[in-house]
Amino acid sequence: MDVFQGLVQGFEVAFSMQGLLFVFIGVSTGTIIGMIPGLGPITAIAVMIPITYGMNPAIALLLMAGVYYGAAYGGAAASILLNAPGTSEATATTFDGYPLAKQGKAGKALAIAAIGSFVGGTISVIFLTLFAPLLANVAVSFGPPEYFALMLMGLMAIASLSEGSTIKALLSGVIGLMIATIGIDDQTGTPRFTFGTPHLMEGIDFIVIALGLFALAEVTSLILNRSAKLKDMKKIGSLKITKKEYKELAPTMGRQSVLGFLVGVLPGAGGTISSFLAYIFEKKISKNPEEFGKGSIKGVAAPETANNAANNGAFVPLLSLGIPGSGTTAVMLGALIVLGIQPGPLLMTDHTDVFWGVIASMYIGNVILLILNLPLIPYISRILLVPRPLLISLVIFFCIIGVYAVNFSTFHLYILLAFGIIGYVMRLIQFPAAPLLLAFILGSMMEQAFRQSLTISNGSLSIFVTSPVAAVLLFIAFLSLLVPIVKDFREKRKSTK
């Protein structure tokens, strides 16, 4: 069956009464779940599994997919307005989104996030339609050595997330790597730094750290610096994006749609990593990198475009190979199995309605999301008008709910609190929090991939250069380390002359 025929069949599923209804329910639930700090698509989809019992599998999957990419839209709101990442994928959006809100440009930031999500979502679904089976080969081309190289490349970017002192950024990154070692070590089954409690066996969840370091730390400093002038914060500003800004943003959104999609295709990488990489990439190639972190519109567009693109990318291995590309798609895969469909390479031919129905629903879902999200911006932004004491309590309230919902344990609330305090102290001594998070999220995968590689190669490091993909990635990592040093050296020589 060719793509066109398939897509027509897909639209028949998606445009049916039931299809449209559940796409709408999915994306709107996703948006709301995404908006609540901490509650992410995994929680939402897990709650939905019992609802999908006995449903047509195609409809069930398009509902769950809707929640997934809907959450990537909604996640930006809390990141921008409250500095509290709505989902882990929206963490990088806080870097510039919140400064924009502080400058009274919350409306614009939210509009850019919505449009970026739409562009990323739509371009990537076109890729998904045209190249899913082809790209399946890309998905399987990455083994442990390639993953290690990719993660190392990402890690090298830590220095570029610094605001001022590079040393502090690196130190912060090291702490992130250390935290990543908490939990059962996959390769030996040994619990590390768990202090004998089963609650730490799975390690610490990314969103717990992100909410602590960003949201709670921000709230703490708001409480302690009562005199701080945040008058502008009450302004929402215009949603309008000027022609000039559109011109500026178009290449960013275009690039990140492609890059985000490709990162998403790799099993295990996913939305959070892609949004960090997108942010760093745009900062590196920007002519004005100093604007990043202070309210750059590109700093909002890049992660928001990339995370939506990555979410769709994760459907490539799921639909064409039966391999989950991310935690959320793993839950979806489980749900499909419960519904009696064993996803695999033959899904496309055995269950054409499921395969194409989901892809078609994404076109519709993205349009619905844009229509849903843009007019809501002025209302959602009004949360900023809530008196500060109330707003602060609300943020704390949501953080607690979000963390509790991760695994329904009060233990992690204490960890949240601890990271809130750590985050505040880090601010006081001007340690950037972003490198810690980046290192944390890359750390465990990088370590496992490194050790898997060495087991395979019987301890020989040559495995990292005999694979061409790994070699190229390591070379880029090396360059990204070298270039700033050479630049620095040259500038110093210039100034001494």
Partner 1 sequence: MRRFILILCFSFLTLFIVACSGEKTGNEKSGSDSDEGWSPEKSIEFVAPSGAGGGWDTTARMAAKVFNEEGIIDQDIGVVNKTGGGGAVGWAYVAGKAGNPHHLFVASPPLIDVPLNGQSEYDHEDFTAIANLIADYGAFVVRADSEWEDLNDLFEDMKADPSSITVIGSSSPGSMDHIQFVKVAKAAGVDIQKIKYVSEQDGGELTALLNGSVDVFSTGVAETVQQVRAGKVKVLAVTSEERLEGEVISDYPTVKEQGIDSSFVNWRGFFGPSDMDEEAVQYYVEKFKELSDSEAWSDIRQQYGWDEMFMSGEEYETFLNEQREEAKQLLDELGLGK
List of residues contacting partner 1 (CB under 8 A): 32-33, 36, 39, 43, 45-47, 49-50, 53, 139-145, 147, 184-189, 191, 198-199, 201-202, 267-268, 317, 321-325, 330-331, 333-335, 337-338, 340, 342-347, 379, 382-383, 385-386, 398, 401, 405, 407-409, 445, 448, 451-452, 455-456, 458
Q: Which is nearer to partner 1, 385 or 465 (CB)?
A: 385
Q: Which is nearer to partner 1, 52 or 275 (CB)?
A: 52
Q: What are the beta bridge partners of residue 336? A: none
Residue appearing with tokens 């701080």? 228
For residue 335, the minimal CB distance to partner 1 (Å) is: 6
Task: Kindly write down the DSSP assignment for every residue of 135-181, as one continuous string.
Answer: HHHHHHT--HHHHHHHHHHHHHGGGGG-SS-HHHHHHHHHHHHHHHT
Task: Identify which of 65, 53, 10 has the alpha carbon closest to the alpha carbon of residue 318.
Answer: 65
For residue 295, the minimal CB distance to partner 1 (Å) is: 26
As given in the structure block, the two tokens for residue 41 are 């698509």
For residue 424, the minimal CB distance to partner 1 (Å) is: 26
For residue 426, the minimal CB distance to partner 1 (Å) is: 28
Q: Which is nearer to partner 1, 20 or 184 (CB)?
A: 184
For residue 103, the minimal CB distance to partner 1 (Å) is: 23
Task: Kindly write down the DSSP assignment for every residue of 86-120, as one continuous string.
Answer: SSGGGHHHHHHHHHHHHTT-HHHHHHHHHHHHHHH
Residue 308 near residue 69 (C-beta atoms within 8 A): yes
Q: Which is nearer to partner 1, 203 or 299 (CB)?
A: 203
Q: Which is nearer to partner 1, 225 or 466 (CB)?
A: 466
Q: Which is nearer to partner 1, 201 or 250 (CB)?
A: 201
For residue 389, the minimal CB distance to partner 1 (Å) is: 14
Q: Which is nearer to partner 1, 305 or 444 (CB)?
A: 444
Q: For the chain, how far is it from start to end, CA to CA, in angstroms? A: 68
For residue 94, the minimal CB distance to partner 1 (Å) is: 20
Q: Which is nearer to partner 1, 158 or 265 (CB)?
A: 265
Plot region of 72 (φ>0 → left; ψ -120 to 50 → alpha; else → beta)? alpha
For residue 207, the minimal CB distance to partner 1 (Å) is: 14
For residue 292, the minimal CB distance to partner 1 (Å) is: 30
As given in the structure block, the two tokens for residue 258 are 């492609």
Task: Kindly write down the DSSP assignment for every residue of 415-461, as one continuous string.
Answer: HHHHHHHHHHHHHHTT--SHHHHHHHHHHHHHHHHHHHHHHHTTT-T
Q: Where are the alpha helices (DSSP H) in 286-387?
A: 297-313, 315-321, 327-338, 347-350, 352-381
Q: How far is CA 267 from CA 203, 318, 361, in A?
A: 20, 9, 22
Plot region of 270 (φ>0 → left; ψ -120 to 50 → alpha; else → beta)? left
Distance CA 92, CA 376 (A): 22
Q: Which is nearer to partner 1, 267 or 293 (CB)?
A: 267
For residue 341, the minimal CB distance to partner 1 (Å) is: 10
Task: Identify which of 74, 108, 109, 111 has the alpha carbon closest to the alpha carbon of residue 89.
Answer: 74
Residue 307 near residue 274 (C-beta atoms within 8 A): yes
Distance CA 304, CA 118 (A): 9
Q: Which is nearer to partner 1, 458 or 496 (CB)?
A: 458
